[in-house]
Amino acid sequence: MPGLFENTVSALCYDIARSQSFDAAPYNDVTAFVLGQWGRMPRFLAWPLRFATIFFACSTLPGGLYHRLPYERRAMVIESWRLSSIGPFRDLIRFYRSLALMGLYSREGAVR
């Protein structure tokens, strides 16, 4: 059963897909790719990343965990972290964005 980490990654992947005007949900394959890549990372990077992701998920409290927020609110959260003056915040979003983009644009029919 997916936990907070997996749900957050999944929500991020769906949000990044939507921000690219993709209309080919579900994106479970993209989520699986991103989670798989996390599993292949060096452990000394993977675990801090997992904690950072959970911190990200909780950063929207008390309004609700990230993945339970409406899409518009989630998109604003991503954008604020992406443009943050705090390097690790930017890096977290860059990491997920990069992998999700690789997964999304590798799909059949992603481009004309």
Residue among 7, 37, 59, 84 that touches another protein (CB under 8 A): 37
Closest to another protein by CB, 20 or 60: 20
CB of 54 to another protein, least distance (A): 19
Record the tokens describing residue 106, joined without a space: 């590798």
Note whether 86 binds another protein by CB under 8 A: no
Note whether 56 binds another protein by CB under 8 A: no
Residue among 1, 23, 43, 72 that touches another protein (CB under 8 A): 43
Note whether 35 binds another protein by CB under 8 A: no
- Cβ proximity of 24 and 107 under 8 Å: yes
For every residue of 9-28, DSSP letters joined together read: HHHHHHHHHHHTT------H
Beta carbons within 10 angstroms of residue 97's beta carbon: 18
Record the tokens describing residue 2, joined without a space: 């997916």
Q: What are phi and psi of 63, to 5 degrees?
A: -70, -20
Closest to another protein by CB, 32 or 54: 32
Determine the length of the chain: 112
**Which residues form the interface with another protein (CB under 8 A)?**
19-22, 33, 36-37, 40-45, 87, 97-98, 101-106, 110-112
